[in-house]
Structure 1
C-alpha cells in the first residue's frame, strides 16, 4: 500500500518506521524537513507539501502537535484540503479537541475523501512495535477501510463512535496518567524527610494498588533521574503532557463543566516547562521535578 505520514516528530517517525517494517511504500512530509531525513535515508520518499503527500498516497496518517498545527496543515495553500482527496483516506492520530476532528474530518469527506480520527495511546516504543491503542471515530465505512492498516499499528483498536468521539476518549485516557505523575511527585515529597533511598521508595510505591503499569515499567528511569540527574530518552514530553491536560480542561469548559484536578496538574506541568524541562520525558521528569524543587 502507498502510505503517507504527515508529521514526523517522535511519534510520527516511530509510526513511519512501523509502516516501513510492514512493507508499505512510504512517503513523508514535515514542516521541518530535517525531521524526515532519517526516514528518507531508510527508504522513504519526501513530499514537498501536504497536498503532494496526498497525491503520492492511498492512505495518509496525520500526527501533528496540536489544534493550531492541524488547522495550518489542513488549510494551507498547499495543505491537505487543497489536494484531490477523491478515493484517498486520511487517518488523523493527533491528540486535539473533538471539534477540530469534526471540522476537519467533515471537510475531508465533503471533498470526496474518507476520514477516520484515531488518536493513539502509547509512546515511541509501542509505536515502533505496532502495539499502540487506537481510539477511532468516524463512519463505519471509513473505519472498515482503515482497520487493516490500524491492525498493523495497534495492539487494540476501538471504534468508539462518530467523528469527535475518538478525540474525547483519548483525552480521557491521557488525563489519569498525567494527574498520577503529579500525585506520585507529591508522594515522594511526603517521604523526603525519611531519607529512604529512591530505589527503595519507588519500589514500594510501584507495588501498591494505585500504581499504574507505567510506573512499574519506568521505575528505573525515575530512580536514575532522582539519584544521578541523568534523563532518560524522551518518549512523551512534559510539554506534550501539559498540552493534553489543557486540551482536556478546555474541552470540559465547552461541555459546561470543570476539571479542577487536571487544571491544577497542568499548572505544575507549565511550571516544569518554564524551568526548562519541556522536552524531558514526562514519566520520569514530572515526579523528579516536584519532589526535588526547593521552594
Structure 2
C-alpha cells in the first residue's frame, strides 16, 4: 500500500532540480527540499517551498521523494549514513531518482530501498533547463509498475512525455543510450561547422542554415546558437562525458561496439584542456576543433 501523496520531497536543487521543483509547486504540490548549498534554494523558499536540514528529514516528512544529483557518488552520498535518505524512508514511500547514474548502482539502490518497505523508481529525464521551461521535458521510468502508476501524475507535472520502460534499471539504460546519441550528434555538428568555417563560410550563416535544415533536432535547436552567442551552459564537458563513460562501461560489459561513443569521448577529453571548458560542451568541443584546424578563435 502506498502513502497518500500529501507532501513531495526534493533533494538536489541545482539548475535542473530547482526548475523541476518549481514546476511541481506550480502544479499545486507542497514541496519540501534539501540542497547541500542552501543559498541555491532561496528563490524556491521565497516561493513557498519547505526546507529540511538533511536528506533523511526529507524522506521522513514526504510521501514521494525526488532526487536530481550530478552522478552516482552524489546519489549514494545522499542515500547513506545516519542523515541519508535510506535512514528516513518508511513503508509506502516512493523514491524517484531523476538523475543519470550507473545502471548497476541504480538497481542495487532499488534493492536497498525495498528492504525499508519503500519503493524506488529510476526516472531519468531527457532535456535541458530550456526544454523544461518550454514544457517539453520527457521522463523515462523503470521499476515496479504499481509504484509508477502511483506517481504518474507527479511525473506529468514535470513534463508531458512520460514513458514506462520496464524493470529497475531499464530507464537508466535507455537514458544512457539517448545521451550517447545526443553527444555524438552535437560533437559531429561542431566538427561540421568548423570544416566549412575553415573554408571561409560564416559561422553564423552555417548555424542559421542548420537550424532550417533536416538536422534541426531539438538538441541542435537550442544548442547550435551557442556557437554564435555563447550565453548559456546546458551541460559542461565533465557532466556530459559522464554519460559517455557509462555507455563505454556498458559496451565492455555486454560486448557491444560503441565506436562513435569512444570517438566523441576522446573529443570531450581534449575539450577538458580548452580555455572554454567551463562553457557548454558544444562550445568547448568546437574550440578544440577550431584550434586544431587553425581557425581564428573569437
Instruction: After superposition, give the CA deviation of every residue in 1:86-111 in whole Å (9 maximum; x if it has no partner).
Output: 12111111101211111111211221
Structure 2 unaligned segments of length 5 or more: list them: 1-5, 294-298
Q: Is 1:145 the counterpart of 2:144 in the alignment? A: no
Aligned to 2:20: 15
Q: Distance in 1 between matches of 2:21 and 2:67?
A: 11
Give the CA deviation at 1:287.
5.2
Aligned to 1:5: 10
Q: Is 1:122 the counterpart of 2:120 in the alignment? A: no
Aligned to 2:62: 57
8 A Cα contact 1:121 1:132, kept in partner: yes
Q: Distance in 1 between matches of 2:62 and 2:136?
A: 24
CA 1:84–1:200 in 2, change beyond 3 Å: closer, same or farther?
A: closer
8 A Cα contact 1:65 1:95, kept in partner: yes
Alignment of 1:81-160 (within 5 A): 81-160=86-165
Q: Is 1:173 the counterpart of 2:172 in the alignment? A: no
Aligned to 2:81: 76
Give the CA deviation at 1:276.
4.5
Instruction: After superposition, give the CA deviation of every residue in 1:64-98 in whole Å (9 maximum; x if it has no partner).
Output: 11111112111122111111421211111110121
SS in 2 for 1:134: strand
Q: Distance in 2 between matches of 1:248 and 1:115?
A: 23
Q: Distance in 1 between matches of 2:101 and 2:198?
A: 40
Aligned to 2:250: 251
The alignment of Structure 1 onto Structure 2 pairs a total of residues equal to 288
SS in 2 for 1:275: coil
CA 1:277–1:47 in 2, change beyond 3 Å: closer, same or farther?
A: farther
8 A Cα contact 2:277 2:284, kept in partner: no
8 A Cα contact 1:175 1:262, kept in partner: yes
8 A Cα contact 2:180 2:261, kept in partner: yes
**Structure 1 moving runs of 4+ over 6 Å:** none
8 A Cα contact 1:185 1:290, kept in partner: no
Give the CA deviation at 1:280.
1.5
Aligned to 1:292: 290
Aligned to 1:43: 48
Instruction: After superposition, give the CA deviation of every residue in 1:156-213 in whole Å (9 maximum; x if it has no partner).
Output: 1111100000000001111112011211121122213321111212233344444423
Alignment of 1:267-286 (within 5 A): 267-283=266-282, 285-286=283-284
8 A Cα contact 1:185 1:286, kept in partner: no
Q: RMSD of the TM alignment (CA)?
A: 1.9
Structure 1 unaligned segments of length 5 or more: list them: 225-230
TM-score (norm 2): 0.90
Aligned to 1:198: 203
8 A Cα contact 1:181 1:286, kept in partner: no
Q: Is 1:182 the counterpart of 2:181 in the alignment? A: no
